[in-house]
Structure 1
Amino acid sequence: MAPHAAAEPIDTGAGSETEQSGGSNDNGIYATARVTYSGSVAPNGASGNVTSADVNWVPPPCWYAPYLGAKDFKKKMSQDIERQLKTPGIGSTAGSALTELKRHYEAGYGWADNPGYEDYNVDKDGEGMFWAGVENPNEPDVLKRSSCNDLPFWVDNGEAPPPQYEEAISPEILAALAYQHMQLPDTEVSLAPEQTTKVNLPTWAWLDKAVFDEVQATAAINVPGLNLEATTTARPVSLTLEPGTDDAVTYPASGECLINDDGSIGEPYARGKANRTPPCGIKYLRSSGNSTYNLQATITWDMSWTGTGGAGGDLPDGTFGNGQAVTVQEIQSVNR
């Protein structure tokens, strides 16, 4: 019976700023508190392109957030209860549950950790809001998405939700949502030789600092009595090269090129370096024939966040990779 606020994505037309909201009623009271996203985020409320390096980390599938003021909640809830009670063929069990729900919000009937309300708390209208579960529209698992299913509960303006509601919206949850929506740049690794190389010829790889900098995404929620935000920051730390074939060696051997002191990765090739081993690169041992090798260049980003009230901390590293087609030719020679 807990009304869930379906957080459908809304295209604001801004590109770098999106909202997820259940809309608002004619009085301008939010049907659910909107989460707004800004900075380097995917458009239209979609998930971004960051993959968590921690396979066990997942963004929140749902959360509790402000839903309606007391008068609006009474209007909606009482209408819904009466409509369902009048449904033809309603069973005794369902009817009893609806009656208990009505007692909970009208007559103060409650239980441990969830006290009842007299007349839907109308005498406190404007002093707080009823909170309800909000589904994360980007969560594919419907069971997880709908798991914030406790009955709507009252929270006074400026007060924290009761401690049993661990999924209540918070700067930490907003930081995780910003992480989920972050869009990292498509950064193509510079190669020398470019696109076409030779068997047993070291290929140098590098990224300049100018195209390789930190990225930020912010998630915020703002309603009367509640103003929270969190900014998630991604800082590049390394580049991992996967040649696309087992017939290759990488420099360094691990394939992971760490960031330099000046913020770049690797070293650009220049004349006179032909006999040197590149600090970051690949050497292919076999021709790609009439095809190409798919070189995967994956950047690892250090993820952290800061939020309202000085909150902050670390998040799992994020990764994002690009594929580049590399042609490897074999040098033909004739001995006489």
Structure 2
Amino acid sequence: MDRGGHRSADGGHAVQGMKRHTIGVAGLTAALLLAPAHSAFAGGPVDKGTTDTKKDTGLNNDTLYAAVSYDTSKNGSGSSVGHVSATGTSWTPPACWLAPRWTAKQFAKETESEYKDVTTDPNQPNYAKNATSQFRDVYKDGEYKNYNLDQQDDGMWWGAVENPNAPVLERTACNSTLPFWVENGETPKVKNAISPEILAGLAYEQIKVPGTEVTLAPSGTTKVNLATWAWLDKGDFKPVSVTASITAPGLNLQATTVAKPVSLKLQPGTEDAETYPASGECAINDDDSIGEPYETGKAGETPPCGIKYLRSSAGGTYKLQATVTWEITWTGTGGTSGDLPDGTFGNDQDVRVQEAQAVNR
């Protein structure tokens, strides 16, 4: 394999973030010692690294390149916002990916530091020292030469990055790929390499939408067998978006994930109730409102969105759950685009129902 090629084997280990941590040793496989778990990183939305590769002499304020940054300026806001949950699918945001993480000088400095720390520590077991030495040999005097320091301005070392929000066993799935060299401007043809689609999934995870407390008429307390109108005013719900991006020499990728409200689901909180429409799904109107406000004189009409309770709440309340479904799509670098699973987010609100057959409205 040449110095600019790719190599993957068990043992590379990294997670997203910005602060440097001690490299640990991954262990053994049946055939050979694994490499050390190289520089673990973890964290949520962070700013991109700012290292200048032409002036870089190693780690610059412990800042590396692998972090994904998020623009949440067009996200939902307010005290009742929350993250959407994917529905009707096993899809989850990306648990890990491969991305540019070190300049040649950064990688050399970190590997040499780890090698020294482990091999000179009398408390380290021999297998750890051997694994660390084998890892160093690959990049210093083996398949690569001297960490590609002579190509400092021409490429970067890529490595595994973990999503700290993913389950542990899932986010370590990329750790079998050891760090590999990629020329600036090239896109490595390896599984899990960072892409607009991966960024779109990460942006999905950062989406926040407003709460869904609906307006009811009658409000607060309603009557048995009386149609209760429900609605959300236009402007309360509108599309929101988050843009995720990653930038390094020769690499500039981004994706914008958009969530658009499409329907409101009403769940009365009791089986002794009917919904309007019967499915409980109230569609978004052309003006982005949901349902229709009650007006005097409509008491005998069927609401386009609402509930009729068939039994009183016996002095207590029912928990009306109002959940909005959000259609989620994305667009990214290079004209890429796609759909992501619909997301839902909702709130509960108390509804008191009294015994009565009718009420003057």
- Among all aligned residue pairs of Structure 1 and Structure 2, give the percentage whose two residues are the same amino acid: 54
The one-character-per-residue Cα deviations of 1:264-288 (angstroms, maximum 9, x if unpaired) are 2211111111111111110001111
Equivalent position to 2:155, from 128, 132, 151: 128
Which residue in 2 is equivalent to 1:50? Answer: 84
**Equivalent residue runs for 1:242-261 within 5 Å:** 242-261=267-286
Give the distance between the partners of 1:124 and 1:205, measured in 2 at CA: 65
**Aligned 8 A contact 1:208 1:265 in 2:** yes
Say if 1:8 and 1:22, in contact at 8 Å, map to a contact too.
no
| Deviating more after overlay: 84-93 vs 30-39 | 84-93
**1:34 aligned partner, one-letter code:** A
- Partners in 2 of 1:222 and 1:65 — Cα distance? 10
> Are 1:2 and 1:152, in contact at CA under 8 Å, matched by a contact in 2?
no
Structure-2 separation of matches of 1:256 and 1:233? 22
2:181 matches 1:154? yes
Q: Do structure 1's residue 270 and structure 2's residue 295 form an aligned pair?
A: yes
Select 2:217's aligned residue among 160, 183, 192: 192
Note the alpha carbon deviations across 1:68-127, whole angstroms, 9 max, x for none: 10012111102212321223265454444333222210123xxxxxxx211100110021
1:237 is displaced (CA, Å) by 0.8
1-side partners of 2:274 and 2:88: how far apart? Answer: 27
**Residue 131 to residue 5, structure 1, CA distance change in 2 (3 Å):** farther
Change (3 A) 1:62 1:4: farther
Task: Give unpaired runs (5+ residues) of structure 1.
Answer: 10-17, 109-115
CA shift, 1:301, in A, is 0.7
Instruction: Report the secondary structure of 2:208's partner residue.
Output: coil
1:143 paired residue number: 169
The answer for the alignment partner of 1:306 in structure 2 is 331
Match of 2:43 in 1: 8
What is the CA-CA distance between 1:36 and the residue it aligns to? 1.2
Distance in 2, matches of 1:2 and 1:147, equals 13
Q: Residue 111 of structure 1 aligns with which residue?
A: none
Q: What runs of 5+ residues in structure 2 fail to find an aligned partner? A: 1-35, 52-57
Q: How big is the shift at 1:305?
A: 0.2
Quick one: distance in 1 between partners of 2:343 and 2:130?
49
- Aligned pair 1:76/2:85, yes or no? no
- For residue 261 of structure 2, the aligned residue among 236, 256, 263 is 236
- TM-score where L is the length of structure 1: 0.86
Which SS does the other structure have where 2:153 is aligned?
A: coil
Equivalent position of 1:113 in the other structure:
none
Question: In 2, distance between residues paired with 1:41 and 1:272?
Answer: 39
| 1:313 counterpart letter in structure 2 | G
Counterparts of 1:87-102 in structure 2, within 5 Å, are 87-88=121-122, 90-102=124-136
Q: How many residues align?
A: 312
TM-aligned CA distance change 1:27 to 1:76, over 3 Å: same
Q: Paired residue for 2:244?
A: 219
Separation (CA, whole Å) in 1 of partners of 2:276 and 2:129:
70
Q: Which residue of 1 aligns with 2:345?
A: 320
The one-letter code of the counterpart of 2:43 is: E
Residue 33 (1) aligns with residue 66 (2): yes
Equivalent AA in structure 2 for residue 153 of structure 1: F
Contact 2:104 2:151 in 1 (8 A): yes
Contact 1:231/1:305 (<8 A) preserved = yes
